[in-house]
Amino acid sequence: MKSISCFLGIAFLFCYIFDPVASQAGTVLNFDDLPVGSMVDSNYRSKGALFSIGCVVHAYGEPGFGPNVGSPPHCLAVFEQPIRIDFVVPGTEIPGTTDNVSVWMSDTEVGSLLGILDAYDADGLLLDHTEITTPGTREDVLNVEGEGIAYVLIRADIDGSVVDNIDIGIPVPEPATLSLLAVGALTLIRRRRK
Ligand SMILES: [Ca+2]
Ligand SMILES: [Ca+2]
């Protein structure tokens, strides 16, 4: 069992420390691969995103969802109840963090709240906050940045907004997890030298 942990430690160290290209590539969640009416929760674990329960996939063209703009054909809707996205190392249950998240939002109520995007670290500390009023174009991109974003909250007002094209980058292990993995890898290296 310890050997497996050590192996994983070495693998992550190589993937996330020694491969800067991997951590720079972006990952966009556009919901076009999910059926209308399905619930989004752990569907995007392979990309490092876990959604809070209650996110239903909608289609552009539905009443209230406007024309087929943005990235067709599927999207999410958000109202005052926030959508929460927690980050994990892609394909695993290991807690992860990212440093930049952007969300495309659309609302027909020009002048009302388009959306709020809040970024938090693993301890629940607010790292960044973005709030945008719906412009004449009826759409905009909300962006938050910060070191060690563990989860984000996306919310709108009572008239709701469309949510699509969520760019979360590629989440990497949290520093605490990375330290444990590094210790495991060093332990294995020492044992092999003995
Ligand atoms: Ca889409
Ligand atoms: Ca609104």
Furthest-apart CA pair in the chain: how many Å? 69
Distance 72 CA to ligand 2 centre (A): 21
How does pLDDT run across 37-68, given as a tens digit for each residue?
A: 999 999 999 999 999 877 999 998 888 776 65
Write out the residue range of the structural domain in which residue 152 sits.
26-169
Whether the predicted pLDDT of 181 surpasses 80: no
Based on the fold, state whether residues 113 and 41 are members of the same structural domain.
Answer: yes
Distance 51 CA to ligand 1 centre (A): 16
Based on the fold, state whether residues 10 and 71 are members of the same structural domain.
Answer: no
Based on the fold, state whether residues 110 and 143 are members of the same structural domain.
Answer: yes
| Per-residue confidence (pLDDT) for residue 178, from 0 to 100 | 67
Based on the fold, state whether residues 47 and 128 are members of the same structural domain.
Answer: yes
Based on the fold, state whether residues 134 and 106 are members of the same structural domain.
Answer: yes
Total count of domains within the chain: 2
Distance 62 CA to ligand 2 centre (A): 17
- Give the integer Cα–Cα distance in Å for 132 and 84: 18
Mean pLDDT of 111-134: 98
Distance 47 CA to ligand 1 centre (A): 16
| Per-residue confidence (pLDDT) for residue 119, from 0 to 100 | 98
Task: Output the DSSP codes for 124-190.
Answer: --EEEEEEEE--TTSEEEEEEEEEEE-EEEEE--TT-EEEEEEE----EE-HHHHHHHHHHHHHHHH
